[in-house]
Structure 1
Amino acid sequence: MIYLTMMIFVKEGKEQIFDEFEAQAIPILKDYQGELIYRIRTKKEDYLVNSEETPYEIHFISFPSEEDFHRFAKDERRKEFIHLKEESIKYSYLVKGVKL
């Protein structure tokens, strides 16, 4: 099992486009045994320490294997609306981990 934490930074004014991308991408996770465990949208005042820009959302996702994650990322249906992601996301951090 792998766990992925994604910190997502959305371009100002592009939040609705990002939400449209997510509405289409999240259901595809299940086709690759992926699970969105947490989808968190926070405000700057929610952070105890924040030395950088505040992410728009934080996702915590699991997949049975790294291969399942790569298959999800290359899914042909996802490619049909990937332009929404590219238009709305400024940048993101992806951190891979395992359960200890």
Structure 2
Amino acid sequence: MIYLTMMIFVKEGKEAVFHQFEEFAIPLLEDYNGKLIYRIRPTKDTFVLQQDELPYEIHFLSFESEDDFLNFTKDERRKDFLHLKEESIRYSYLIKGTKL
């Protein structure tokens, strides 16, 4: 089992486009033994400490294996709407880990 934390920074005014991308991407997770455990849209008052800009969303996901995750990223259906991701996301951080 692998766990992924993704901090997503959306371009200003492109939130609706990002939501369109998520409508396509999230359901595909199950096809690759993936699960979106948490989808958080933080606000300034929910942070105890902040040294950089706030992410628009934080996702915490799991996949049964590294291969499942890689296959998800290569899914042809996902590639059909990657333009929405590129149009809406300025940048993101992806942190990979395992359960201790």
Q: Take 1:95 and 1:56, find their aligned partners in 2: how far apart are those partners?
A: 16
Aligned to 2:93: 93
User: TM-score w.r.t. structure 2 length?
Assistant: 0.99
Indicate the residue corresponding to 1:10 in structure 2: 10
Shift of 1:44: 1.4
The structural deviation recorded for 1:65 is: 0.6
Tell me which amino acid in the other structure corresponds to 2:36: L
Question: How far 1:60 sits from its partner (Å)?
Answer: 0.2
Pairing of 1:18-57 with structure 2 (within 5 A): 18-57=18-57
TM-score scaled to structure 1, two decimals? 0.99
Question: What is the distance in 1 between the residues matched to 2:50 and 2:77?
Answer: 36
Q: Can you list the C-alpha shifts for 1:19-47, whole angstroms capped at 9, x where unaligned? A: 00000100000000100000000111210
* Matches of 2:44 and 2:17, distance apart in 1: 22
Partner of 1:82: 82
Tell me how many residue pairs correspond in the alignment: 100
Amino acid at match of 2:80: E
Stretches of structure 2 lacking an aligned partner (at least 5 in a row): none
Secondary structure at the counterpart of residue 48 of structure 1? coil
Identity among equivalent pairs (%): 68
2:40 pairs with 1:68: no
User: Whole-Å Cα distance in 2 between the matches of residues 25 and 13 of structure 1?
Assistant: 20
RMSD value, Cα: 0.4
